Amino acid sequence: MATPRVLILRAPGTNCDQETAFAFERAGAETELVHINRLLEDRRLPNAFQILCLPGGFSYGDDIAAGRILANQIRHHLDDVLHEFKAAEKLILGICNGFQVLLKSGLLLDHADGAPPATLTWNDSGRFEDRWVQLVPAGTACVFLRGVESMYLPIAHAEGKFVTSNAPVRNALADRGQLVLRYAAPAPAAAGCETDLDTPVPFPHNPNGSEANVAGVCDPSGRVFGLMPHPERYIEHTHHPRWTRIDRREDGDGLAIFRNAVHYFADSLQTQS
C-alpha cells in the first residue's frame, strides 16, 4: 500500500501535535510536524504532502478568540497556497482548535460576502468543558467518517458552540449534508437526535449548546473536515476512561478517522503507481 504523507501544522500553543502524529502513523501514514513559520518561509512545502492536519491546543494562547490569530495568518498569507492544496483534492482535517482555525480562515466554509457563515463561540456553560461524549455521523458525504456508525470521544474546549449566521444558512448546510457529526444522548434518548435539527440534545451530552447538536462539519466535497472532539485521544483500548471495565477492543473509536484519511490517499496513490 502506498504511504500518504501528512503535514501537521503547529503554532505557538499547539499541544496535540505529537498525539495526532501518533494517530496518523498508527493508521499507516508518514507525518511531519511543521511550524507555521516554516510554512510562511517556504510556501511550496504543502506540495510534498497529501493530507494537512491542524491539531488541537491553544494556538497563540487563544488570545482575542480561539484560533483567531492562526486563522488570520492563513487568510492573509497562505490563503492561495492552502486553497490550491484543497483544489488538488487533497484532505484537510482540523481538530478542536484546528476546527476553529478552519472555520475562521474560510478554508472549511467560504466567506462569500466577507463574513463567516458559521463560527465556534463560548460554551453555554460559560466555562471550559472536559468530558467524553457520544457522537453519531449524519449522512455519507465526509471522507473521514466513512463506515463509522458511532463514536465515543473526549472533548476539551471553552469555545466549541457551533452557531450559524442565521437559520437559512444552517438549513442550507444541513440540506447539503455538511453537518456530518452530531452530539447524541445515550440510548434510548439518542433515537432520532442525529437527524432531527429541532430536537436539542441536553447538556452534558451536547457539552457546549451547539446548534443542531453539531460536533463536526465538512465542506461540500467531504474532503475538508473539522470537529471539536479529539479522535487522537482515543486510539488505543486503554485510552477509554473505563477501559478496565469494558470488553477489550482492538482499537479506540478515534482511529477510524485517521485510517479513512490514509486509505483514501493510499488507494489513490496505489492506482497512480
Please list the active-site residues.
96, 230, 232
The secondary element (H helix, E strand) that includes residue 217 is strand 214-218
Angle, CA of 25, 47 and 87, to the nearest 5°: 100
Of 105, 97, 104, 56, nearest to 78 (Cα)? 105
Of 93, 128, 57, 76, nearest to 261 (Cα)? 93
CA dihedral over 100, 105, 110, 112, signed as positive or negative: positive
Write down how long the chain is: 273
